[in-house]
Structure 1
Amino acid sequence: MADHNPDLVEDARHELGVSVAEMREANKKWQAMIRSPRARAAASRYRSVLGAPESVVRRKVGDLECEAWLWPLPLWPTLRFEVLLAPTGAVWNEWLVRAPGAEPPPLRTLDDLTPWSCTVDEAARAFAPVRPLEGSAPTRWGLAFTAPDARGARHACVAEFSWGLLQRVAVDPAP
């Protein structure tokens, strides 16, 4: 997320009381863990780092049944880190989602699409129809859609997400 919004990451680091050195060390350990030749399966890796999930729910995605593991986040109390697992235990997806029972943000115009304001699913619902776009890395997604500005003029947009959280929106200025 620091690639897109370094100031927000810096503010979050201060809010969490973590030094730059601690943040870098945590990232170094995570990268070593996921790239190790003896790396654990993704599901057990998340359990070892995050502990037991706050909740585990059955979910149906199209015709596929899966299990969703959800963890709370100190920085974002209205979000959860979600890991979707196939019946085989393989991780299908990992990203941030709105916590059960938490109200999604009102998303009506381009002004509402600020960094870290919404998840992929929330933007997709608010500005349907959308076209999913491949991200620049495994933890990144994109959506193409049209959205109105404050005056109601519609614009073509491309939203970029990291770990499921909005990072930025590129807007075609011509309505």
Structure 2
Amino acid sequence: MVPMPSGKPPASPSPFRPFTPLDFQLVLLRRMADHNPDLVEDARHALGASIADMREANKRWQAMVRSPRSRSAASRYRSILGAPESVLTRKIGDLECEARLWPVPLWPDLRFEVLLAPNGAVWNEWLIRAPGIEGPPLRTLDDLTPWSCTVDEAARAFAPARPLQGSAPTRWGLAFTAPDGQGVRRECVAEFTWGLLQRVAVTG
């Protein structure tokens, strides 16, 4: 994560003010604050935003998502984030799906991916490693630090991993075994928010 200039939201946001990519990053951070408040605070300062800005962005996001007149999820992301940086085809079983990717300035090596089913419905929405960017080496539990990797990276590094239901719609879990610093394999559960690692608990 690197600090960058980004146009701070107004101190008193208007409900008619456009929801911007900066607001969306604050929504991502709001969901991560339960697990890593210090990292979130640093990121919020890097964005030049206050706690009130983050709360307001999340409030407006929830209102958009829950509104009975809300546009489709795919349209909502395009409206907020603009045209995707890239559009890829991904195969899931026998189906070909469309993956739309957007940059996220807070995490330059990551992209926000929205995966669309053949009928246009959004199947998944989370952070992934940017195409062509090599992820971090993941060999032991010591490598699994907060925000260090994505769901798919952890699942590949410590296969076979078992997906677990998250505690909220934007959260995922993985159960797997991994060696600790002494080389002893431990049973673990990792928690992810918006696809980014938040914490790991040793369960056995």
TM-score range, shorter chain: over 0.9
* Deviation of the 1:76 alpha carbon: 0.2
Report Cα offsets for 1:87-132 as digits up to 9, x if no partner: 1110000000000111110000000000100000000000001111
CA distance in structure 1 between the partners assigned to 2:46 and 2:93 by the alignment:
39
Q: Percent identity?
A: 83
How do 1:24-173 and structure 2 match up within 5 A?
24-172=55-203
> SS at 1:28's partner residue?
helix
> SS at 1:74's partner residue?
coil
Report Cα offsets for 1:56-99 as digits up to 9, x if no partner: 11111121210000000110000000000011110000000000
What's the RMSD between the two structures over aligned residues?
A: 0.8
CA distance in structure 2 between the partners assigned to 1:95 and 1:18 by the alignment:
22
CA distance in structure 1 between the partners assigned to 2:74 and 2:181 by the alignment:
43
4+ aligned runs moved over 6 Å, structure 1:
none
- Aligned counterpart in structure 1 of residue 48 of structure 2, from 6, 11, 17: 17
* Deviation of the 1:142 alpha carbon: 0.4
CA distance in structure 2 between the partners assigned to 1:147 and 1:58 by the alignment:
32
TM-score with structure 2 length normalisation? Answer: 0.83
Extract unaligned runs of 5+ from structure 1. Answer: none
- The answer as to whether partners of 2:95 and 2:118 remain within 8 angstroms in 1 is no
> SS at 2:41's partner residue?
helix
TM-score with structure 1 length normalisation? Answer: 0.97
Extract unaligned runs of 5+ from structure 2. Answer: 1-31
CA distance in structure 2 between the partners assigned to 1:97 and 1:170 by the alignment:
22
**How many residue pairs are counted as aligned between the two chains?**
173
